[in-house]
């Protein structure tokens, strides 16, 4: 199975429509070294078969027949951005009552549409943490096959959760006897559900450790899965070398999930000192969506969000931002995760300014969306930097994001695996 997963990762990296014999050269005004935080002047990047083969300075390419030279002399280059928490099937402008009637094929079409928007916003890699019917797995496979356009996707199947919990559907009457696909109670049932997700193509696993903001009838901070259930999920996924994400707002759920060995905690709203210390001790990554609260509290009512959910958002928002600030000061591992779908897809970069506002430097925020996210995916030798041997996932912007992080909200040039998908120059 590990060989199959490695082959799938290699396929994610090498897919490109470029000729195997053509070389692409990319020149620019400057390049951000995301490891050092230095601005490298006059870079020349050489790309073959979607992979960077060299990065030089103050050089001009010697072109052979069929080679291409892309000249961006007014722009600054960066690695493609990475968002570790998205839901490509969901549209925040569609009321949840209407979403109940959407078929899995309709969800997949939505996901394909939003995948393209996400890529064009400069996000060349995302982790989709939960979708019904294996819909985003189908979209991921379509992108890899060249049928549709979108970022690299690490796709969890249906999110695992307890009966009546945040990852169940509690909006339908009991006589329909509906249970969400990912519901599993007890350690062995949870293991079976992990195996089922892997069977149908998941290359990440997500479960709900606590209640949530947008579910019906759950307390946002209350723990749901027990330690034994969480440990079973993590152990089963790690035997197959898959990263595990735990949705966890509440303190006890966060601590239990960390002790169970999860790779990342999603939301992490109510952190205490012990939870922060545990995250540091275990090397757990925190993925904290501190921008979307503004969208929800501004547009939620007109988008049909229930008052129950708006109230829970009000309870969480300030606490989560305080927790974010404390985690940054403590030096906890942090990745970039937005929960895109709670706000419009394509606006992912709006979170960068909030990460800086609430405690990060510009470089730390950039690293969260590049080298840190690559580490979480165990792809830090292939993704997240502009250097030889790495995928040619490259964006370009007009200003210097190390001085003004909002420059990342306007990306005119996007390349993935050596192929240009956006060039608004």
Q: How far apart are CA 63 and CA 407, in angstroms?
A: 32
Torsion of CA 345, 298, 246, 222, to 10 degrees: -160
The angle formed by the CA atoms of residues 135, 87 and 275, to the nearest 5 degrees, is: 130
Cα–Cα distance measured from residue 142 to residue 177, given in angstroms and rounded to the nearest whole number: 33
* Predicted confidence band of residue 12 (pLDDT cuts 50, 70, 90): low
Q: What are the tokens at 382?
A: 């292939």
Q: What are 416's strand-pairing partners?
A: 419
Distances (CA, A) of 202 to 162, 167, 176, 229: 20, 17, 28, 19
pLDDT tens digits along 95-142: 776 777 788 999 999 999 999 999 999 999 999 999 989 999 999 999
pLDDT at 2 over 60: no
DSSP 79-130: EPEEEEEE-TT--TTS-HHHHTT--HHHHHHHHHHHHHHHHHTTEEEEEE--
pLDDT at position 80, please? 98
pTM equals 0.92
Average pLDDT for 238-260: 97
Worst-scoring range by mean pLDDT, 3-17, 177-191, 214-228, 316-330? 3-17
What is the average pLDDT value for the chain, to the nearest integer? 91
Helix (H, G, I), strand (E, B) or coil at 279: helix
Please state the φ and ψ torsions of residue 153, each to the nearest 5 degrees.
-125, 125
Flag whether pLDDT at 83 surpasses 70.
yes
The pLDDT of residue 310 is: 81
- Kindly report the number of other CB atoms within 10 A of residue 388's CB atom: 12
- Least confident window among 61-65, 173-177, 361-365, 396-400: 173-177
Q: What is the pLDDT of residue 245?
A: 98
- The Cα 45–Cα 80 span in angstroms is 14
Distance CA 252, CA 176 (A): 33
SS3 268: coil
pLDDT at 7 over 60: no
Among the residue ranges 4-8, 110-114, 361-365, 375-379, the one predicted with the least confidence is 4-8
Length of the chain: 425
For residue 10, what pLDDT band results from cuts at 50, 70 and 90? very low
Pairing, β 205-208 against β 123-128: unpaired
Lowest mean pLDDT among 45-54, 280-289, 312-321: 312-321
Determine phi and psi for 326, rounding to 5 degrees.
-70, -40
Residue 176, pLDDT score = 73
Residue 270: what pLDDT?
95
pLDDT for residue 53 is more than 80? yes
pLDDT attached to residue 16? 43
Per-residue confidence (pLDDT) for residue 425, from 0 to 100 = 82
pLDDT at position 21: 67
Catalytic, 231? Answer no
Q: Answer whether residue 272 shows pLDDT above 80.
A: yes
Condensed to tens digits (0 to 9), the pLDDT of residues 165-187 reads: 787 676 767 877 766 688 899 99
How many other CB atoms are there within 10 angstroms of residue 62's CB atom?
8
Out of 339, 375, 382, 422, the active site residue is 339
Let me know if 339 is a catalytic residue. Answer: yes
Distance, in Å, from the CA atom of 286 to the CA atom of 158, rounded to the nearest integer, reads 21
Question: Which pLDDT does position 3 carry in this prediction?
Answer: 44
Which of the following is catalytic: 206, 312, 382, 416? Answer: 206
Beta carbons within 8 Å of 92's beta carbon, 6+ residues apart = 295, 299, 303, 341, 342, 343, 344
């Amino acid at each position: 199975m590990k060989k199959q997963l490695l082959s799938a990762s290699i396929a994610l990296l090498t897919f490109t429509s470029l000729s195997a014999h053509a070389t692409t050269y990319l020149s620019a005004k400057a390049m951000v070294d995301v490891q050092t935080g230095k601005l490298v002047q006059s870079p020349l990047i050489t790309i073959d078969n979607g992979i960077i083969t060299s990065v030089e300075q103050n050089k001009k390419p010697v072109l052979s027949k069929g080679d291409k030279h892309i000249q961006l002399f007014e722009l600054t280059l960066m690695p493609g951005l990475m968002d570790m928490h998205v839901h490509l099937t969901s549209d925040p402008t569609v009321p949840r009552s209407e979403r109940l009637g959407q078929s899995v094929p309709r969800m997949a079409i939505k996901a394909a549409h939003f995948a393209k928007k996400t890529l064009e916003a400069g996000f060349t890699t995302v982790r989709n943490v939960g979708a019904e019917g294996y819909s985003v797995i189908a979209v991921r496979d379509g992108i890899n096959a060249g049928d549709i356009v979108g970022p690299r996707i690490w796709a969890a199947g249906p999110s695992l959760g307890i009966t009546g919990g945040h990852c169940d559907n509690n909006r339908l009457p009991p006589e329909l006897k509906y249970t969400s696909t990912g519901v599993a109670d007890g350690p062995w049932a949870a293991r079976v559900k992990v195996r089922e997700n892997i069977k149908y193509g998941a290359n990440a696993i997500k479960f709900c450790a606590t209640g949530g903001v947008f579910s019906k009838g759950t307390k946002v901070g209350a723990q749901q899965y027990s330690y034994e259930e969480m440990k079973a999920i993590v152990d089963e996924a790690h035997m197959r070398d898959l990263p595990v994400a735990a949705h966890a707002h509440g303190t006890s759920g966060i601590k239990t999930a960390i002790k169970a060995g999860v790779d990342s905690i999603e939301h992490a709203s109510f952190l205490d000192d012990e939870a922060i210390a545990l995250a540091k001790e275990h090397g757990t990554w925190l993925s904290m969506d501190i921008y979307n609260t503004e969208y929800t509290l501004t547009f939620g009512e007109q988008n049909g969000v229930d008052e129950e959910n708006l109230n829970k958002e009000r309870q969480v928002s300030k606490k989560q931002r305080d927790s974010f600030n404390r985690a940054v000061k403590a030096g906890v591992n942090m990745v970039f995760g937005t929960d895109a779908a709670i706000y419009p897809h394509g606006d992912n970069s709006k979170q960068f300014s909030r990460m800086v506002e609430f405690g990060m430097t510009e470089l730390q925020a950039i690293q969260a969306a590049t080298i840190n996210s690559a580490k979480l995916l165990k792809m830090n030798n292939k993704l997240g930097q502009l250097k030889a041997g790495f995928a040619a996932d490259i964006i370009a912007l007009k200003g210097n994001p190390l001085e003004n992080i909002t420059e990342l909200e306007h990306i005119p040039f996007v390349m993935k695996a050596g192929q240009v998908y956006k060039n608004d120059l």
